[in-house]
Structure 1
Amino acid sequence: MIKKFNDLNLNDSFLFAAFFENPDNCKMMLEILMEQEISDLSVKSEHNLLVSSDVKCIRLDIYATDELHVNYNIEAQNQKRNDLVKRSRFYQGEMDVASLKPGEGYNKLEKSYVIFICTFDPFEKGLFKYTFEETCKENGMPLGDETAKIFFNTKGTNKENVSEELIEFFQYFENTTDEYVEKTNNHKIQELHKRVKAIKMSREWEAGYMKYEEIIRNTLLEGWNEGKNQGLIEGKIEGKIEGLFMVLERFGELPDNLVKKINETDDIDTLNCWFRQAIEAKSITDFTQNIS
C-alpha cells in the first residue's frame, strides 16, 4: 500500500514537486528559506513534474529563475545518502550549462543556488542551515563565482541563528496538516497550507500521484530484477541494500536501528524478501513488524 495522497507532507517528493510547479508557491517558499525578498520567478518547464503514459523518467528537483537572473535548484531529501555532496556538484554543472547559450562568454553565467531541504542533519553539526561558497584555502578570499550550495536541516538546534518563521516552516514541512496549522499564527504558513490543500483537492494531481507511484514501483522492480536501475548490479549486496533504501525513502527518515539492521544484512534472499515487503508496506512501522 502506498501513502494516501491526502496524507502526503511537503517533504514527500511528489507533493514537494507539485507545489513548486507553481511560480508563486515557489517564490513564497524560497523567501522563507532564504529569509529575504525574491523577485518574481519562472519555473523551468523542462524540469516540471510530468506524469503520463509515456513517461520514462521522473525528476523531482525544481529548477527556477527569478527576474534578476538568479537560478535555483531545489530538492527535498528524506534519506541520508553518501552522494548528496556530489549531487550538489552535478546540479551546479547542469544549471551552468542551461544558463549559457552557445557562443556566449563565461561572464554570462548567472548567479545560482543549489538547495537541499533535508529531514536529517547532513553534516551532523546541529545547524539548521549549511551554506558553502568557493573560497581560497590559503587566506579565505572569496572566489566570486556567484555559486552557493545550501543544505537545510529540519532537525537543527541553533535556533538563535535562524528566524522563528524558518523553524516553523521546517516543522510544517514534515507535518503538513490542519492540526499543525491551527496551532500557528504565522500567516505565511497558513497561506502555504491553503495552497497545499488546493493541490490535494485536485483530482488531476491525485491521478498523477497514482501514476507516479506506479511508475516508481515498476521502475524499482525492473531495476531490482535486472540489476540495472541506477547502477544496481544484480547479485551485489551493496546494490540490493541501496535499492531497498530507495523504496523506503517514501516513509521519511528511517530509525537508526533499522538502517543498521539493513546495512548488516548480507543474505541476498533476505534482501529480496524485504524489498517486496517494502513495496507493499503501508508505513515504516508496518515494514519493521513484517521483517522482525
Structure 2
Amino acid sequence: MLRRSYLAGDFKQDLTLDPIFGYVMSKKENCLHLLQMALPELDIQEIVDISPQKPIDLNLFEKTSRLDVYAKDKQERVYDIEMQNLPVDFLTRRAWYYLRQLNIPKPGEDYDQVKASYVIFFCMFDPFDEDRAAYRFDFTEQKNHNLTIENVGHLLFFNAKGKDRSNITPQMSEFLDYLNGQTVKKPSKYIIQLNDDIKEYTRKPEWGEIMNQIALMREAIRQEAVVKMIESYREDFNLDDNKILSLLTKRYGDDFTKDELQEMIEQTK
C-alpha cells in the first residue's frame, strides 16, 4: 500500500537522500573537495580508495552496519562520511562505534602503524542544540585543555541548520546551504558539479526501483509511528476507537485512507 506522499515522484531528489549521497560522494573529486572543506588543516591532496555503503562488523554480537562513504587519502588516513537526516537515539555512540572499527589494527600490524581516522556526520538537525554549524571532538585533559595525548580518532558533526558558522570555511557554509536547498545566483563550480552528478544518477534506469524501495521502507516507519500513537491514545488518554480514528485522520489523512487507519486500529487490539 503506497500512499500519495510515498510515491517515488514525491521524494526530494537531492544530496540528503542516502543513495544519492553515496553515489555522488563515491566520485573521488567530489569526496576530496568535501574533505578539504571539512578538514582544511590536513591539506588532503588525493583520495586513493573510496567505497560507498561499505559494510562493517561492529562486533561478533551485533548486526553488520554500513558506512555511507568510506575513503582513504594518500597519507593512509581513513574517513567515514555519513548523511543523517533525522535525529536518532545514541547518535554519538554510533559515531564512536564507527570510529572504533576504523581504528582496529590489521592482522600483524603494530599499534604505531594505525593511521588517523575521522568519522564525519552531516546532520540536517542540531545534534547538540548549540546552534553551531560544526562540532569536533578530540581527546583533551579535562582540566587543562592544552594537555593532549596522541589521538588517532576524531569525530566531527556538521549541522546544516546551525546559524553560528564562525568555525567553518565559506565553502563549507555554501555546502550546508546547498543541503538545505538554498543556492546563490552564481554557485561555485563544486555545487554545479554536485547538481550535474545528481541529475546523472536520477536518470539511471534503476533509480525508480530504488525510490520505490525507499518508499516502502518509509511507509513501514510511518505505520509503526501510527501504531505507537494508537497505543498511546488508548493507554495514556483512555480514548475510544472513534476518537482515535478522528485524531489519526486529521494527522495522517494525507498518507493513509480512513479504511487503512481503521484497519491499523483493529490490528492493535
Same fold (TM over 0.5): yes
- Tell me if 1:34 matches 2:39: yes
Please, which runs of 5 or more residues in structure 2 have no aligned partner? 1-5, 56-62, 236-240, 257-269
TM-score, length basis structure 2: 0.71
- Tell me if 1:18 matches 2:23: yes
Higher relative strand content: 2
Q: Could you tell me how far apart the structure 2 residues matched to 1:208 and 1:71 are?
A: 28
Q: Per-residue CA shift, 1:245-290, capped at 9, x if unaligned?
A: 9xxxxxxxxxxxxxxx96x94548969x97xx97x939xxxxxxxx
Name the SS for the 1:30 alignment partner: helix
CA contact (8 A) 2:53 2:67 kept: no
Cα drift, residue 122 of structure 1: 0.8
Q: Per-residue CA shift, 1:145-180, capped at 9, x if unaligned?
A: 2211001011112233322222221111131xxxx5
- After alignment, is 205-214 or 10-19 more displaced? 205-214
CA contact (8 A) 1:14 1:60 kept: no
C-alpha spacing 1:58/1:139, structure 2 compared with 1 (3 Å): closer
Cα drift, residue 213 of structure 1: 4.4
Higher relative helix content: 1
Aligned residue number for residue 132 of structure 2: 127
Q: CA RMSD in A?
A: 3.7
Name the SS for the 1:29 alignment partner: helix
Q: Per-residue CA shift, 1:57-110, capped at 9, x if unaligned?
A: 88362211111111111111121223111011110111123xx22121111211
Q: Could you tell me how far apart the structure 1 residues matched to 2:186 and 2:93 are?
A: 37
Name the SS for the 1:79 alignment partner: coil
CA contact (8 A) 1:128 1:152 kept: yes
Q: Could you tell me how far apart the structure 1 residues matched to 2:32 and 2:143 are?
A: 37
Q: What code does the residue aligned with 2:46 have?
A: D
Task: State, as a whole percentage, how many aligned pairs show the same letter.
Answer: 26
Q: Per-residue CA shift, 1:36-59, capped at 9, x if unaligned?
A: 6433221136717xxxxxxx9883
Q: What code does the residue aligned with 1:114 have?
A: V
CA contact (8 A) 1:40 1:67 kept: yes
Question: Rg: which structure is higher?
Answer: 2
2:151 to 145, 149, 152: 145
1:210 to 196, 209, 212: 212
C-alpha spacing 1:122/1:30, structure 2 compared with 1 (3 Å): same
- Tell me if 1:112 matches 2:100: no
